A and B are shown apart, each in its own frame.
Chain A
Amino acid sequence: MAREKEESMQVSRRATRSSTFSANNNGIELGKPNDSYIPTLGDLVFGQEPISLDDLLSRFPGRRVQILELLRLLGTLNSSMPPLFVYGSASTGKTSIIIQVFRHLSRPFVYTSCLSCYSPRILFESILNQLLLHKKNAFNGYSSAKRCEKPSDFVIFVREALINVIDSLKENAEKTSTSKLKGQVNGKMIYLIFDNFELVREWDKSSSILPFLFGLSDILKMPEVGMIFISSTSPDTYHSNTGYVAPIHVYFPECTEDDLRQIFMRNQANQKLYSSFLDIVLRPFCRITKRVDELSTAFSLLFKRYCEPLSDLGVLPNGEMKRRLFSHLQPHIAPSLNEIFRVASQPCLECGVNQETRRKGGARKSVGSGDLDDIGFHMSTSAKYLLVSAFLASRNPATLDASLFDTTGVSDSRKRKRKASEKSLEQKEAAEQELLMKGPGTFSLERLLAIFQCITSVGEEEEGNDGLRVDEGSNALMSDILLQLTSLCNSNFIVKGGSCPLEGSTRYRSTLSEDLAIKVARSIKFPLSKYLYRR
């Protein structure tokens, strides 16, 4: 938008007072207002070239109905409009379509997102800043034009600001030409757009802010102001005791398969090749999700794999080549479906390629186990031991600690196997059910540290003296351990549960899944299965 251009023209004010009094270079002189850019009415319009209707329709394949509906509801120039409520699930194009529609119409608008304006005060001040054409820069100390916290103040300020803007729009409209210039402002109406509106429900004062925002057009009583709310949840999820002023609803459905095909075919260098690729993958992937952002990351990886046997990417595939490519891709589709939401980081991609070459030689393992050695993140050895001990502490009941971690031998294997009676089977099932429902148990800090000490001494014995040296400088190590624990808590591997009612100390809970725990244990060569309590 116009704002980014204007920002780049400002020079940073790092210079000291004495060195800025040179009028030759671009230094800003203190005491003078920033005169490199004066905001005008054109700031309220989308800053770049307006686009034609066909261009608009072609940018958003499959959204023709919604675009036309929006254009109809916005109407011709200067026609009034009740508030609009645009809703649809995430990544269906609501925000981008509305902004591009305003670009096409060249009408002034004020856009605020309730995601970046996360409280009423920031929301009100952001709207006022845009209407008063106020830029936050170093000169005014990055402050807003007016301090506004309460809705009553906001109504007074915004009414003044809107009247000013509408007056200047009226003047502008009188001396306008009909050609479509960049920065051209059409019409005498101004529109307020509230994006991510569903987040307003979570705010503290939402029970008074929501009816206020919905009824803002009624409170202001200005026909030259139009309001548009964009939400990713449907209007019936907005609850109120006494109801809201009803806006007009516009619904954005998810893309159908044909729409998705059109969207993915845009901007592809080799249309026929990509079309044959989509023939194979689109249908199975659409069974999982229809969101464009999720599909595009999955498809980009798969397409690279699809094109691997091709030496020339510009070739047009015929029937035989298509079959060959299909058979090459086939074994990768099913595992890729199970990894569809995973976005691999760059190093993983490269080592993925290496693993590919390794795997081809050896026995055919399933792709899931190919990641066995690769947890996907780096951790120090002590942190891994800490994780494993947390997992064990959450998983096993405390009474077993003594027998499991007894260094004189593992007692599990000596358990006599009795024939399971029906009652004990039922009990087992109930216990399993409880495990499913309740989740991992809580443990105290002392228990965690005790298990940690036991495990690291086991590790040391098994690896000879290459493991952790726990006995030397154990005090220093203990504070390191506590630091490690804090960082594990911050990354949500361990969460703080409630405090124990008797003692009052905090209890912790491990959120590690069993697969990940097994991977971590394998990477430090720790025999996890021996210590897990199997009910």
Chain B
Amino acid sequence: MGKENPAAEKASNLLRSRLCDPNFVVKHLSDSPDSNYSSVTEACNNSILLLGPRGSGKIAVLELILTDLLLEYPDTISVIKLNGLLHSDDCCAFKEIARQLCMEHQLLFSKMASFDDNSQFMIEMLRECGLAHKTIIFVLDEFDLFAQGKQRLLYSLLDAMQSVTSQAVVIGVSCRLDADQLLEKRVRSRFSHRKLLFLPPSKEDMQRLLEHILSLPVDSSLPHAYAVEFNKKIKNILADGRFKEIVNTLVNLDSTVNHLLRFLFLAVSYMDLESGFLSFENFKTALSNSHRQPKLECIKDCSILELYILVCMKRLEVKEQNSYNFNSVMKEYKSIHDSFQTSDYYSRNVCLRAFEHLLQRELICFTDNRGYSQSVEFRPVKLLISSIELHQGLKSYCSCPVILLKLVER
């Protein structure tokens, strides 16, 4: 479509890959927690929790530090990574630890090893590594999921760290700020209560980050003049007051770095590949796309009969009927038709099908859970949208019958 600008394509690819790679972002922003360094160099046992809302870059920072450490002390560190989504079951977790240890030290891993074998193995490895002055770093992602159930894994890990011969660091990462409250008493007593909170970046940091991400490198394979021109345009956009407003709106909604990155990705995908430059309009379109209201969109998708059913249900709620089902909605529908002589009066089967469409769209739902012994017409239902949303939806619906608006407003 149109002539292709290979430089623009390369630039857009570069930007997109940067935006999808959290390490690039974090390198710029990082403030390294020195605690990790100290535990390695001084060979003491330590545990720490990294907490922060989802998308604030905790794992990315951790990866960064681990790669640095591995470069600095290549032989004395081994890293074991566990994820709460995958390994919250204790058997699974020990098997995974054993597997990773075996991979690290080129030992044979047997899939048939039992839970006891695996845990014995881990304790012995810890002792051996401690005697050899090697540190094992355990990274537990989604830490709150490990704290469900009996917490056997956490207890054995933290317990093994209490002995003098082992050198281990346990780093827990979680998006629940109260993750340490979930620990059992005996586990919590062995935990060192160090927490690192990941706060959202400040405005100046945000500005610098934006510039860092969006500026093309001048001395790379891209044509020099193009890159310089691109960077100049970016600087102009970033300095614009309207752009600062957009960023403020974004940050007010969700101040994590990930949210910003998704927004930037949308903007870069709108980049005009013919001219090869980002413009302010790209950012505006990206903002409107990332702030959607799904329920309003749902209402706009409904047909007029479905809107009638929604309005009937709303009226039943206003009349304070505690529970109502399809038959009562039909009664209300008939009464509306009788009093206002609308042209939209359809038979019961048609209305039942429209009712089922609404159930599929999840604008209404059944209130009973067991309900398979009753047919659809008798099960109690309720609305899943508020009256404000319904009102707004009707107002923005093109060619909405006037009668519906009148009925909702009363």
- Residues of chain A touching chain B, judged by Cβ–Cβ distance below 8 Å, are 53, 72-73, 75-76, 78-82, 87-90, 150-152, 155, 208, 211-212, 215, 218-219, 223, 232-237, 242-246, 248-249, 251, 253-254, 286-291, 337-342, 368, 433, 436-440, 495-498, 509, 511
Contact = CB atoms under 8 A, between A and B. Distances in A.
Given A82-B262, A338-B347, A341-B353, A242 B378 contact: no
Given A150-B92, A439-B377, A53 B1 contact: yes
Interface string B259-295: 1001001100110010000000000000001101011
Given A75-B13, A81-B16, A236-B295, 4 more contacts: A75-B269, A79-B13, A152-B96, A244-B54
Contacts of A155: 86
Interface string B3-16: 00000010011001
B303 A286 contact: yes
Given A76-B9, A155-B86, A242-B54, A251 B297 contact: yes
A341 B323 CA distance: 28
A208 B85 contact: yes
Contacts of A341: 349-350, 353
Nearest to A432: B331
B344 interface: yes
B83 interface: yes
A287 B59 CA distance: 51
B297 A253 contact: yes
Nearest to B265: A82
Interface of B is mostly: helix
26 contacts: A75-B16, A75-B269, A81-B16, A211-B85, A236-B294, A243-B54, A245-B55, A245-B258, A246-B258, A251-B292, A287-B303, A288-B303, A288-B305, A288-B350, A289-B353, A289-B357, A337-B350, A338-B347, A339-B347, A339-B349, A433-B328, A436-B331, A437-B378, A495-B372, A497-B373, A498-B373
Nearest to A497: B373
Contact of B346 (A79, A232, A338): A338
Contacts of A290: 301, 303
Shortest 5 CB-CB distances between A and B: which pairs?
A: A439-B378, A234-B294, A338-B347, A152-B86, A436-B327
Given A150-B92, A248-B266, A439-B375, A79 B294 contact: no
A512 to B, nearest CB: 10
Interface string B46-66: 000000001100010000000
Given A219-B83, A236-B295, A248-B265, A495 B373 contact: yes
Q: Which of B144, B175, B303 has the most CB of A within 10 A?
A: B303
Contacts of A233: 360-362
B410 to A, nearest CB: 23
A511 B350 contact: no
A81 B9 CA distance: 15
Interface string B298-337: 1011011100000000000000000111011001000000
Nearest to B325: A437
B378 A288 contact: no
Nearest to A235: B294
A511 B375 contact: yes
Interface centre among A79, A235, A339 (most CB of B within 10 A): A79
A167 to B, nearest CB: 19
Contacts of B68: none
A119 B273 CA distance: 42
B20 interface: yes
Contacts of A242: 54, 144, 175-176
B85 A234 contact: no
Interface in B82-119: 83, 85-88, 92, 96
A89 B273 CA distance: 32
A117 to B, nearest CB: 19
A253 B19 CA distance: 28
A496 B374 CA distance: 9
B303 A80 contact: no
B122 interface: no
A116 to B, nearest CB: 19
Interface of B: 1, 9, 12-13, 16-17, 19-21, 54-55, 59, 83, 85-88, 92, 96, 144-145, 175-176, 258-259, 262, 265-266, 269-270, 273, 289-290, 292, 294-295, 297-298, 300-301, 303-305, 323-325, 327-328, 331, 344, 346-347, 349-350, 353-354, 357, 360-362, 372-375, 377-378, 380
Contacts of A82: 19-20, 262, 265
Contacts of A248: 262, 265-266
A72 B175 contact: no
Contacts of B86: 150-152, 155, 212, 219
B183 to A, nearest CB: 17
Nearest to A287: B304
B145 to A, nearest CB: 8
A147 B377 CA distance: 44
B26 to A, nearest CB: 14
Contacts of B380: 437
Contacts of A243: 54, 175
Contacts of A219: 83, 85-86
Contacts of A496: 373
A78 B303 contact: no
B374 to A, nearest CB: 6
Contacts of A87: 294
A108 to B, nearest CB: 18
A222 to B, nearest CB: 11
A294 to B, nearest CB: 8
Contacts of A75: 12-13, 16, 269
A255 B221 CA distance: 45
A440 B375 CA distance: 10
B17 to A, nearest CB: 5
Contacts of B87: 152
B13 to A, nearest CB: 4
A90 B353 CA distance: 14
Contacts of A150: 86, 92
Given A243-B54, A248-B262, A248-B266, A90 B305 contact: no
B360 A90 contact: yes
Contact of A223 (B17, B273, B375): B17
Nearest to B81: A219
A73 B271 CA distance: 11
A138 B104 CA distance: 40
Given A219-B85, A219-B86, A341-B350, A80 B375 contact: no
Contacts of B9: 76
Nearest to A215: B85
A243 B144 CA distance: 13
B144 A81 contact: no
Nearest to A256: B398
A81 B85 contact: no
A76 B325 contact: no
A289 B305 contact: yes
B152 to A, nearest CB: 17
Contacts of A291: 357
B269 A73 contact: yes
A223 B21 contact: yes
A81 B295 contact: no
A434 B290 CA distance: 47
A368 B294 CA distance: 39
A79 B16 contact: yes
Contact of B301 (A72, A81, A253): A253
A20 B12 CA distance: 58
Contacts of B374: 439, 495, 509
A432 B114 CA distance: 65
Contact of B328 (A235, A286, A437, A509): A437
Contacts of A497: 373
A445 to B, nearest CB: 16
Nearest to B4: A76
